[in-house]
Amino acid sequence: MKEKIKTHLGLGRFFALPAVVCAVLLGIALGGHWSWLSLMVTLGAIFLMAYSHSFNTLLDYSWTGFDKGTEKERSKGKVYTKAQQPIAAGIMTHKEVLVNGLVYLAISAVFIGIVAYNTSPIIWAIWAGTALCTFWYSWGKLHWNCELALGTGFGPLAVMMGMASQPNPDFLTAFLAGIPFLILWGYGAETIDQWTDAKPNWPRGLRNFGALVWKNNVSITMFFAWLLGITFLSQLFLIAGGILAPLTALSLVSFIPFSFSLLYLEKNLKVGVLWGLGGIFLLMILLLIGQIVGG
């Protein structure tokens, strides 16, 4: 019973909570109006993230099949999260995972409903679009665009959700401000994640950047370094264009953990991935602080 309870909680993969919170709060900071609704929309986004992760577990087993088979045949367990592949491991059934995801979704809907009632129902469209990214992501693993699906959810849509709680929302500004997060999560973190799963899943139809990096024997370190450069360049353009405050340049300090990540990625994957995640979280936190203080 204890194991099942832990698995139910773990299906939400709350390790990514700082990323979602930073993205939503960035949308609020861009709008400039903080209120009790800021907490409501943040909680709504957190539980929406949990639903997405829970449903991803279900879809990777029942739809794409990447989590089926023996431990050697399916996707590898990741060092940064728990409750992985519970259906294949026999811990939970399809129905239990489905209910888990729907409960998270329902809780999210309650918080978003409160925001919609006090602001505008347009937030429902953003919420629904973000929820559908879960299915787009699974489909995209077979069609070369799962990175875009994940990055859109963790980036522009999350920032737009925060902006939707504002009295006079500027959704274009929010969308553009989320692009660095889109690159980091969608094309950085996701590429590394899928690269580790490419060997068992390429024969099953996995088709994305991570699989392509593995298939062509390209250095994952070089590819990640390229994406980091594009991330910082996009942020520079956003500062120059007046979308982000100049003080968001504080996030450049994240080059320190990113440097360690690049050093270790191909020598010790676990250490490299943990440094990389630390760099992403630090970048997002410092960017948010810079926008709040300097906006």
Residue 79: per-residue pLDDT: 64
Q: Report the alpha-carbon angle 182-21-117, nearest 5.
A: 105
Mean pLDDT of 156-174: 98
**Residue 55 one-letter amino acid:** F
> Of residues 154 and 90, which shows the higher confidence score?
154
Q: How many residues does the chain have?
A: 295
200/159 Cα distance (integer angstroms): 35
Average pLDDT score over the chain: 94
- pLDDT band at 275; cut points 50, 70, 90: very high
Give the residue-averaged pLDDT of 153-171: 98
Q: Which long-range contacts (CB under 8 A, 24 or more apart) does 240-243 make?
A: 241/176, 243/173, 243/176, 243/177
Asked whether the predicted pLDDT for residue 244 surpasses 60, the reply is yes
- Token couple for 209: 């950047």
Lowest mean pLDDT among 71-75, 181-185, 260-264: 71-75
pLDDT > 90? residue 245: yes
The pair phi, psi for residue 242, each rounded to 5°, is 80, 10
- CATH topology for 2-294 is Farnesyl Diphosphate Synthase (1.10.600)
Closest Cα to residue 108, out of 85, 81, 131? 131
Residue 154 has pLDDT above 70, yes or no: yes
pLDDT tens per residue, range 19-77: 999 999 999 999 999 999 999 999 999 999 999 999 999 999 999 998 887 777 666 66
pLDDT at 37: 98
- pLDDT at res. 129: 98
pLDDT, tens digit, for every residue of 54-63?
A: 999 999 999 9
More confident residue, 244 or 11: 244
Q: Is the pLDDT of residue 83 over 60?
A: no
Concatenated DSSP letters of 20-73: HHHHHHHHHHHHT--SHHHHHHHHHHHHHHHHHHHHHHHHHHHTS-TT-SSTTT
Q: Calculate what percentage of the chain has a pLDDT beyond 70.
A: 95
